[in-house]
Structure 1
Amino acid sequence: MRKALLKLIDFFYPPFSSWMSLHTFRYIASGGTTAATGIVVFYLAYHLVLHEQNVYIGSLLITAHSAALFIESIITFLIGFILNKYIVFTKSNLKGRIQLFRYGSVVLTNILLNYAFIKLLVEAFSFYPTVAKIIITAILALLSYFSQKHFSFKVKS
């Protein structure tokens, strides 16, 4: 499966080879897949699962866009870790459990930033939730790349 995915990603690399390294291209392809999956899952969770309705757990109110973000985060965490570990950052010599913990730390930070920014954009600036999610994803993608490269999947000398 890994070889097939690498062949597919690498097939589209030649036109971009003068602009970026293969490693960066693989990250963009993997991250783009994870991000696109996240946006689709967020949309489906918000509209089809939650029917744009807030969730009440006892007296606790969870807004529909926050609940959709939670659902999306669980799914994209798994997809993102697998793609980063086996497609992008294959040269990392850290143990898998350390990679998973560090990846989880970065993802948790991104979820908190996602939550704060989605609250801000949707509730303070009246953005449509899916549009807000797309904007936030684009901003956090760059931060994630450097965090994953230099922290989660670091190559020890």
Structure 2
Amino acid sequence: MKLVKLIHSSLDFFYPLFKRFFDRTTYYYAVCGVSNLVLSWFLFFIFYQFLFKKENWSLPLVNFTLSSYTMAAFLCFIISFSIGFTLLKYVVFTKSHLKGSTQLFRYAVSALITSFTSWILLKIFIETFNFFPTLANISASCIVVVISYLLQRKFSFR
């Protein structure tokens, strides 16, 4: 895969700067994870501000209302899940001997755990502490990063 080789070459170019702090796998994980995270922050802002226009959406058939930040977070989850799994499988944890379907299942479980945790934190930050939703999303993400790393390294792609 040419794209994977290009990503590895790009990452390897900068690796000497971080070699004394991280082993190669952790470095790859950090760069891919941070890139995906920053993309999701950007998308959350765009979805919340412009797509859902900061409005709650009613679902009259089931008498339920969804907040715009919940819908933005869900849409970001779908996108970052796809990108994240692809990067981790083909760029970061390339030496895993687990079948792709097993990796995907485990990644899905860990992604659901971290996304649910992030959503709970998002609600707490917005509804209890009155954070601006984009700031709440960034704050929740920073807390969840540690949980996510441990789940990916020790469970999904071991």
User: Shorter-chain-normalised TM-score: which range?
Assistant: over 0.9
> Alpha carbon RMSD of aligned pairs, Å?
0.8
1:33 pairs, out of 35, 44, 56, with 35
Letter in 1 for 2:46: L
**CA–CA distance in structure 1, aligned partners of residues 18 and 97 of structure 2:** 28
AA partner of residue 19 (structure 2): S
SS at match of 2:97: coil
Q: For residues 98-138 of structure 1, what are the alpha-carbon distances to aligned partners after superposition, in whole Å with 9 as ceiling and x for unaligned?
A: 10000000000111101110000000000111111111111
User: Which deviates the most, 72-81 or 17-26?
Assistant: 17-26
Give the Å deviation of 1:19. 1.1
Instruction: Map 1:1-157 onto structure 2 (within 5 A).
Output: 1-58=3-60, 59-154=63-158
Structure 1 segments, 4+ long, off by >4 Å, are none
Q: Secondary structure at the match of 1:19?
A: coil
Task: Report % sequence identity.
Answer: 34
TM-score with structure 1 setting the length: 0.96
- Give the whole-Å Cα distance in 2 for the aligned partners of 1:47 and 1:10: 37
- TM-score, scaled to structure 2: 0.95
Amino acid corresponding to residue 47 of structure 2 in structure 1: A
Instruction: Answer with 117-126 or 136-145: which moved more.
Output: 136-145
User: Unaligned 5+ residue runs, structure 1?
Assistant: none
How many matched pairs?
Answer: 154
What is the distance in 2 between the residues matched to 1:80 and 1:57? 30
Where structure 2 has 5 or more consecutive residues not aligned to the other structure, the ranges are none
